[in-house]
């Protein structure tokens, strides 16, 4: 954590784990009431990235970056550039233990600015040899997660005719809504930004407010805004059979996973469903270079991962959250275990 000399803003990098490889996690540009809140957010999100990468079986660890934006308006122009350069210096100080990417409040042009100060940047524009905006890939993975959730509940992954509430129409939520509409789903959509109403009109979706969308009578709820949407107050009011969305940390607490089981609602662990972006970036880091067709296959494999998690949860009589965490923990433990000792007289490896 350091105060940038150009911008005067706090820049924070949290590295949770490098057991499976360098920590990878986006740079979040956000306003916080207090710098301690910003640090807590970075720490919490970096831990989530460790488990997200492990469940996806990626050779990366978990990290997160935060630029603490001043309250009172957007950060633009030279002030934004100064903050991004300061953040780049913070990354460079870690000698490759952390790689950054886009997150809430940042974009691929911002990654280009950060790359002026460090090479440990992913998600650069396609013309610069990167994979560009990861949000379409995140949306693709969430749509696949929705298909598997439907398969679990109704025996078929077909989305044609399913009613789905998408709460949050940002870059990921908007792309998801378009994909679901193209697949034949009937949509209820919501966002705090009234300007997103135009997308609802374009897709022929029903527009409502976020609180009403959470309680709408639909087949699937897709939370795509900020976290903690599922809590002791909202869960009893749910009228859906499945939940799968792009939002991080959807559960206000881990015990909410048990409440969803009691209500016979299939919840797809968020860090599994929304891993498409980080999976896409991992392809960018492979020795043979980035290829979108390879990325697509890897992102769609989220479906198979979820089937394994649902099967494990059912076999163990536990929640999908517990099964996903157990899978990640096994992979982290395997990566941190020392290599087996050579038998006496064996030739050196």
| Candidates 64, 69, 186, 298; catalytic one | 64
Rounded alpha-carbon distances, angstroms, from residue 67 to 2, 51, 182: 10, 23, 36
The β-bridge partners of 206 are 188
Contact by Cβ (8 Å): 220, 165: yes
Rounded alpha-carbon distances, angstroms, from residue 249 to 48, 123, 278, 340: 8, 23, 16, 37
Show Cβ contacts of residue 287 under 8 Å, excluding neighbours closer than 6 positions. none
Contact by Cβ (8 Å): 331, 20: yes
Contact by Cβ (8 Å): 99, 13: no
Q: How far apart are CA 144 and CA 279, in angstroms?
A: 14
What backbone torsions phi and psi does residue 86 show, to the nearest 5 degrees? -60, -40
Location of structure tokens 């709460």: 167
Location of structure tokens 């009431």: 33
Residue 77 burial class via C-beta count within 10 angstroms: exposed 0-12, middle 13-18, buried 19 and up: exposed
Determine whether 52 is an active site residue.
Answer: no
User: Considering only CA atoms, which of 183, 301, 176, 298 is closest in space to residue 245?
Assistant: 176
Contact by Cβ (8 Å): 169, 189: yes
Show Cβ contacts of residue 217 under 8 Å, excluding neighbours closer than 6 positions. 163, 239, 240
Edge-to-edge, what's the strand order for the sheet holding 206-208?
Answer: 206-208, 186-190, 163-167, 220-223, 242-243, 266-267
Q: How far apart are CA 95 and CA 99, in angstroms?
A: 10
Indicate which residues carry an active-site annotation: 64
């Amino acid at each position: 954590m350091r105060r940038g000399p150009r911008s005067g803003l706090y820049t924070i990098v949290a590295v949770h784990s490098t057991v499976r490889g360098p920590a990878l996690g986006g740079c979040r540009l956000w306003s916080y009431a207090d710098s301690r809140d910003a640090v807590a957010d970075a720490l919490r999100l970096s831990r989530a990235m460790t488990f997200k990468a492990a469940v996806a079986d990626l050779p990366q660890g978990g990290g997160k970056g935060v630029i603490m934006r001043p309250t009172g308006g957007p950060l633009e122009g030279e002030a934004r550039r100064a903050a991004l350069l300061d953040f780049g210096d913070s990354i460079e100080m870690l000698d490759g233990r952390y790689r950054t990417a886009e997150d809430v409040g940042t974009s691929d042009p911002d990654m280009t600015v950060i790359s002026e100060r460090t090479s440990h940047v992913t998600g650069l524009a396609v013309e610069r040899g990167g994979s560009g905006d990861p949000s379409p890939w995140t949306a693709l993975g969430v749509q696949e997660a929705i298909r598997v959730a439907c398969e679990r509940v109704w025996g078929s992954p077909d989305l044609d005719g399913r009613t789905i509430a998408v709460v949050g129409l940002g870059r990921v939520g908007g792309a998801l809504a378009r994909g679901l509409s193209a697949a034949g789903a009937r949509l209820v959509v919501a966002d705090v930004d009234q300007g997103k109403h135009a997308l609802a009109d374009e897709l022929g979706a029903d527009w409502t407010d976020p609180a009403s969308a959470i309680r709408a009578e639909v087949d699937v709820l897709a939370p795509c805004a900020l976290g903690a949407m599922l809590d002791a107050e909202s869960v009893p009011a749910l009228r859906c059979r499945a939940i799968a969305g792009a939002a991080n940390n959807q559960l206000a607490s881990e015990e909410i996973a048990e409440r969803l089981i009691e209500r016979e609602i299939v919840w797809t662990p968020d860090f599994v469903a929304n891993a498409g972006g980080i999976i896409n970036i991992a392809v960018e880091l492979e020795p043979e270079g980035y290829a979108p067709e390879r990325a697509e296959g890897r992102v769609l494999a989220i479906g198979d991962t979820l089937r394994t998690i649902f099967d494990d949860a059912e076999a163990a009589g536990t929640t999908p959250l517990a099964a996903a965490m157990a899978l990640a923990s096994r992979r982290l433990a395997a990566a941190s275990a020392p290599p087996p000792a050579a038998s006496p007289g064996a030739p050196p490896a």
